[in-house]
Structure 1
Amino acid sequence: MPAPLLSPATQEHEKALAAAAALRWVRDGMVLGLGSGSTSAQFIRQLGAAVQQGLKVSGTATSLASENLARQVGIPLLEPRRGLRFDLTVDGADELDGQLRLIKGGGGALLREKTIETASNYLLVVADSSKLVPVLGDFPLPLEVVPFTLPWVLDAVQALGGSPVVRTSLTESAEQYRTDQGNLIVDCHFGQITDPDALGPQLQAIPGVVEQGLFLGLAKAAIVIQHGQPMLLKPGEAPRPASEFTELP
């Protein structure tokens, strides 16, 4: 079954609902990973409002855009350092399946996202209803690539059946998109990814691929809007209303 088509207004409303449900699990003193993308931006804005009302948290952002937004809304930020771990990271996904395997990187922040989420005790995904899919792959799978290696990465991805496309800049269509680290993004069109657990290591092993956009075994839970309500999804469990939980499930 394809993901539902949502109007922009409905999609924004669902993102705000998912973010609000996630905010209920944030506690004083937590060190947070702040995700990237439009749903994460909803969470950051709502978190900032809670900080202004006295909530005491700190965090590190997964992109420069999220970092700038966090500063604007008054969230104290931590610089990367050895030993830094996060109690909770809240981030979106471009796609997720029932086992909470994710495709991420539509915004180009997959390297920092995976770094912070690997250093997190708990990754909570927030998503509108269009992001939950039966099989990953309708959304192109992003790779962050060192520029010098690009021709050989494209050859290797093509050999794997990935139909690679180098992402162009959102503002200058003649220019290649650059990540916060100055690397390129290659969007790979595999179609249905029936075995993401096998594909991820194959892509990661290509010289020049800094990071690939399959996030496997990282998400502990997801809040996804279903029939207008925030539902909590965990691997191997039936969805339950997120309102049933008052702390990290």
Structure 2
Amino acid sequence: MATTEELKRKAAEAALEYVKPGMVLGLGTGSTARLFLEGVARLVESGMDLKAVPTSLATAEAAKKMGVPLTSLEESMWLDLCVDGADEVDRRLNLIKGLGGALFREKIVATASKRFVVVVDQSKLSSRLGTKAPVPVEAHPFGWKNVSAALQALGAQVELRQKEGEPFRTDNGNHILDAAFGPIQRAAKLASAIAGIPGVVGHGLFLGMAHAVLVGTPKGVRTLVPRQTT
């Protein structure tokens, strides 16, 4: 039986097929995205001309150690490809992201990319968002309790994320509120409601953004693409 780590690696390795010489990449944050980064480092070491924009300080540090050349959105406003993980993926390839705390920058980089490819193991698939993961909400420290109350009014059970006994801080200096709504019936409506709360910097609902989801399974990698609507 393949381990979760092995399934993640299968998906990450499959994503390397999307990488072409001369590309500017968006590098995600998290365990599966880290495996993709390791593959990118091998391509760079072999002589492939690549540059990348990291979505977190941790990813930037790892990329530097691996010898992957970095750039920024100021220097490279539009990217060719972003590869990142996800915490939950529904049947329409909508995502919950942000359990790693980098959701704000991840959404900016994914939106700035011509193609956004998501890499996950099969445990992240669900029939409806919110079944397996809470929705992370990045909130400014000023008034975060008001944001929490507003999320509760929308039906969530809310926890302030902690790290080593203190409120977790994102790379942007903000708090993360993990809002558990249970299975979400109307994700777009909820996303709009969360975004409209004063003090919210960003949220982990990534709707209609993924161009492909690569799923590591014991039988290989499944490639999921959004259904075409007419």
Scaled by the length of structure 2, the TM-score of the pair is 0.96
Match of 1:163 in 2: 157
Tell me which residue corresponds to 1:189. 180
1:82 to partner: Cα distance: 6.5
Q: Give the deviation of 1:22 after TM superposition.
A: 0.3
The corresponding residue for 1:81 is 74
- The one-character-per-residue Cα deviations of 1:102-149 (angstroms, maximum 9, x if unpaired) are 000000000000011111111000000101111110201100000011
- Is 1:150 the equivalent of 2:144? yes
Structure 2 residue runs without a partner (length 5+): none
From 202, 213, 218, the counterpart of 2:209: 218
Alpha-carbon separation, structure 2, partners of 1:17 and 1:117: 21
Q: Please say if 1:25 is aligned against 2:18.
A: yes
Equivalence for 2:198 = 207
Aligned twin of 1:59: 52
| Structure 1 gap segments, 5+ residues each | 1-6, 238-249
Question: What is the aligned length?
Answer: 227
Check conservation: 2:116, 2:211, Cα contact below 8 A. Answer: yes
Partner of residue 95, structure 1 = 88
* Contact 1:14 1:228 survives alignment (8 Å): no
TM-score by structure 1 length? 0.88
Cα RMSD of the aligned pairs, angstroms, is 1.3
Residues of 1 paired with 2:76 and 2:44: CA distance? Answer: 25
Q: CA deviation at 1:227?
A: 3.8
Shift of 1:13: 0.4
Give, as a single letter, the amino acid of the residue that structure 1 aligns with 2:16: L
AA aligned to 1:119 is A
Identity of aligned residues (%): 45
1:83 deviates by 6.0
Q: Which amino acid aligns with 2:40?
A: L
In structure 2, the residue corresponding to 1:142 is in which secondary structure?
Answer: strand
Determine the C-alpha separation between the residues in 2 that align with 1:13 and 1:68: 24
C-alpha separation in 1, matches of 2:33 and 2:217: 18
Aligned residue in 2 for 1:232:
223
Q: Which runs of at least 4 in structure 1 moved beyond 3 Å after TM superposition?
A: none
